[in-house]
Structure 1
Amino acid sequence: MKGNRLVLDSALTALAPAVWGSTYLVTTELLPPDRPLLASTVRALPAGLVLLAIGRVLPRGVWWWRALVLGVLNIGAFFYLLFVAAYHLPGGVAALVVAVQPMLVLLLAALLLKDRIQPLQVTACVLGVLGVALLVLRPQAGLDAVGVLAGLAGAVCMASGIVLTKRWGRPPGVSVLTFTGWQLSVGGLVLVPAMLFAEGLPGRITGTNIAGFVYLSVIGALIAYAIWFRGIERLPALGVSILGFGSPLAATVLGYLVLGQALSPVQLAGAVAVVGAVVLAQPRRKPEVDLAVEEPVTQAS
């Protein structure tokens, strides 16, 4: 029974990276060109504000700064650094650099969550990175110091956000949707000045653009991140992290199905490696201690 529940939790959580894998397709086909920060801001902020309006619960006490930290790590800083890496590196190289984050999760979970590092987990991390490399890397790919550093910093943000979300859990009485709303709102607000300074607002928005923005905000943020944070509560940190490999896998499959892009035998081998890494990293039984909600926190004066 517990094994079936774990499989269902893993499968549901995997939907979030799969949705994020569609971001490239939606951005290129539906959104205004060369507006990645605008896309990130619209993706995060409206969804966060909607969830805050529905939940009508604001952080209290220590959760003000925790929500700020998690919102910056999981949303704001991660989105910004990801796009800096994408601008300075070929897409495949950027995806590969960010793909080191499960290894960082493995180390941080050992330090902060006291999780033991198992050989099977290390194998899953290496296999996943190899799979991503086969999926997205091209022979002509080049390196850029700024892009590599931004990608690594983004991986650190994502890994830290996963582990701290796992460590802190949720405050008592706060739903997953409200918890997601805090982080999306913080992340969106952090992105606003960067978006206005670097890109500004577009002079014209079409109906197609609006459809793309709605998809990114409702499906790509509100629903996907609620599923993601639920998964972090119910699954080990590394298991959730490696599910993120599903994003480049979904992007590759969608490129083949929708855009008619070629799918080589090397990419198929990469897809198999990614699936194998995900299977290896998932838990076989329910952790004995998995506190999703902390003890009540006294409100700060």
Structure 2
Amino acid sequence: MFDLHRSLGRSTLALFALLAGFWGTSFVAIQEGLHYFPPFTFAGIRYLAAGFIILTYAALTVDRWLPRGRDEWLSITVAGVLVFAVYHGLLYLGEQYVSGAVAAVVISLSPVLTVVFAALVLGEGDFDVRTLAGFALGVGGVVVLSQPDLSNLDERYLLGIGLVLAAGAAFALGAVLERPLRTDLPTRAMEGWAMVVGSLVLLGGGAATGESLAAISWTTTAVASLVFLTLGSGVLGFLAYFELLARVGPVDLNLVGYAEPVVATVVAWLLLGQVVSPATLAGFVLVFTGFALVKRDALARKVHALLPARDPGTGGAYAGMDD
């Protein structure tokens, strides 16, 4: 039996758990915070503060934090608009109608959508039968999660599912469009600027839809939710994400998206007494199965790499495979 702690390192496992904890809990924090904040304003304030904190950190720790040239500003704009503004705007709107645990399951379809968009938009990878089947399983999970009952449709719940699904699609599309726009600007600086750009779009969207700062109810729960989302999942979460991306790569890091619904479900149960439904569990299993099918080869390589090497004479050995 392989020693996972030895293979990945205790600090990497700790970062993985920290990131899953921050980002999984954030779905519940958003759900609760929306009782006190208008959605676009809530997301905008969160990322305006987080963006300035990360930019300050970048200015102190990297050689260059100011963007220059059209390409760098284009990359920042794509990330700011799609990954931060559209994604979070739709997510916050959707969580007005569905629970944080349900939203986390729907968002876990994003890695599958990323593969689909990469094939369709950039021509990367093969959009083969296996990819199509994985995508169909993931969508099937969302359909199961929606609990369609034509005799008793809950239109608000279905609207929430649709908004969160669109949020996940925006995130996946933004991640794909960023690939050919990569520049020499350090990642921390780029993400900090993208957060600021996204926050301005969100706050502008809030103003355009009639949201007002006067509508915020500054209760203890509201402040706790905002502080956690800004400092926890916003600042510390993204810094952990960047570090893990450098250590383990995108395939392993995608798995954090499948730990998030588990964390969101446990936190919602412990803090709010919410119990996940069988449909939510079934939807999660289908979405994860779709991801595993799409990423089967990459996941198999990772599992083989974790298995201990054996002497060929002992019979049946995995010495690890290249990424």
Q: Which moved more, 1:269-278 or 1:221-230?
A: 269-278
Question: How much has 1:72 moved relative to structure 2?
Answer: 0.8
Q: 1:222 to 1:170 in 2, by over 3 A?
A: farther
What pairs up with 1:128-207 in 2 under 5 angstroms? Answer: 128-131=138-141, 134=144, 137=147, 139=149, 141-143=153-155, 150-151=163-164, 153-171=166-184, 174=186, 176-197=187-208, 198-202=210-214, 204-207=217-220
Counterpart of 1:38 in structure 2 is 41
Structure number, greater radius of gyration? 2
Q: Which consecutive residues of structure 2, in runs of 5 or more, have no partner in the other structure?
A: 60-64, 306-320
Counterpart of 1:295 in structure 2 is none
Question: How much has 1:217 moved relative to structure 2?
Answer: 0.3
Question: How much has 1:39 moved relative to structure 2?
Answer: 1.9
Counterpart of 1:77 in structure 2 is 86
Say how many residue pairs are matched: 284
TM-score normalised to structure 2 length: 0.67
* Secondary structure of 2:213's aligned partner: coil
Question: How much has 1:154 moved relative to structure 2?
Answer: 2.8
Q: Which moved more, 1:152-161 or 1:42-51?
A: 152-161
Q: For residues 116-143 of structure 1, what are the alpha-carbon distances to aligned partners after superposition, in whole Å with 9 as ceiling and x for unaligned?
A: 3465555544444444555674755534
Q: For residues 245-283 of structure 1, what are the alpha-carbon distances to aligned partners after superposition, in whole Å with 9 as ceiling and x for unaligned?
A: 544443223222322223444544445445555555354
Counterpart of 1:252 in structure 2 is 265
- The 2-side partners of 1:274 and 1:6 are apart by 28
- The 2-side partners of 1:160 and 1:242 are apart by 19
Q: For residues 40-91 of structure 1, what are the alpha-carbon distances to aligned partners after superposition, in whole Å with 9 as ceiling and x for unaligned?
A: 112211010111122221111120121111111110122223334445x655
Q: 1:39 to 1:127 in 2, by over 3 A?
A: same
Question: How much has 1:14 moved relative to structure 2?
Answer: 7.5
Counterpart of 1:235 in structure 2 is 249
- The 2-side partners of 1:14 and 1:115 are apart by 30
- The 1-side partners of 2:25 and 2:279 are apart by 21
TM-score normalised to structure 1 length: 0.72
Are 1:26 and 2:40 counterparts? Answer: no
Q: Which moved more, 1:37-46 or 1:17-26?
A: 17-26
What pairs up with 1:88-167 in 2 under 5 angstroms? Answer: 90=98, 101-110=110-119, 111-112=121-122, 114-117=124-127, 121-131=131-141, 134=144, 137=147, 139=149, 141-143=153-155, 150-151=163-164, 153-167=166-180
AA at the equivalent of 2:113: L
Question: How much has 1:187 moved relative to structure 2?
Answer: 0.9
- The 2-side partners of 1:250 and 1:141 are apart by 29
AA at the equivalent of 2:224: A
Q: 1:5 to 1:271 in 2, by over 3 A?
A: same
Q: For residues 145-198 of structure 1, what are the alpha-carbon distances to aligned partners after superposition, in whole Å with 9 as ceiling and x for unaligned?
A: 9867755543332111222334444525x2x33232121111111111222343
- The 1-side partners of 2:240 and 2:131 are apart by 23
- Asked if 2 retains the 8 angstrom alpha-carbon contact of 1:243 and 1:278, the reply is no
- Asked if 2 retains the 8 angstrom alpha-carbon contact of 1:113 and 1:167, the reply is no
- The 2-side partners of 1:259 and 1:253 are apart by 10
Q: For residues 17-44 of structure 1, what are the alpha-carbon distances to aligned partners after superposition, in whole Å with 9 as ceiling and x for unaligned?
A: 6533323432454565252222211221
Q: Which consecutive residues of structure 1, in runs of 5 or more, have no partner in the other structure?
A: 290-301
- Asked if 2 retains the 8 angstrom alpha-carbon contact of 1:131 and 1:273, the reply is yes
Identity, in percent, stands at 29
- Asked if 2 retains the 8 angstrom alpha-carbon contact of 1:45 and 1:189, the reply is yes
- The 1-side partners of 2:153 and 2:14 are apart by 33
Q: 1:13 to 1:46 in 2, by over 3 A?
A: same
- The 2-side partners of 1:50 and 1:267 are apart by 36
Q: Which moved more, 1:63-72 or 1:228-237?
A: 228-237
Q: 1:93 to 1:27 in 2, by over 3 A?
A: closer
Counterpart of 1:49 in structure 2 is 52
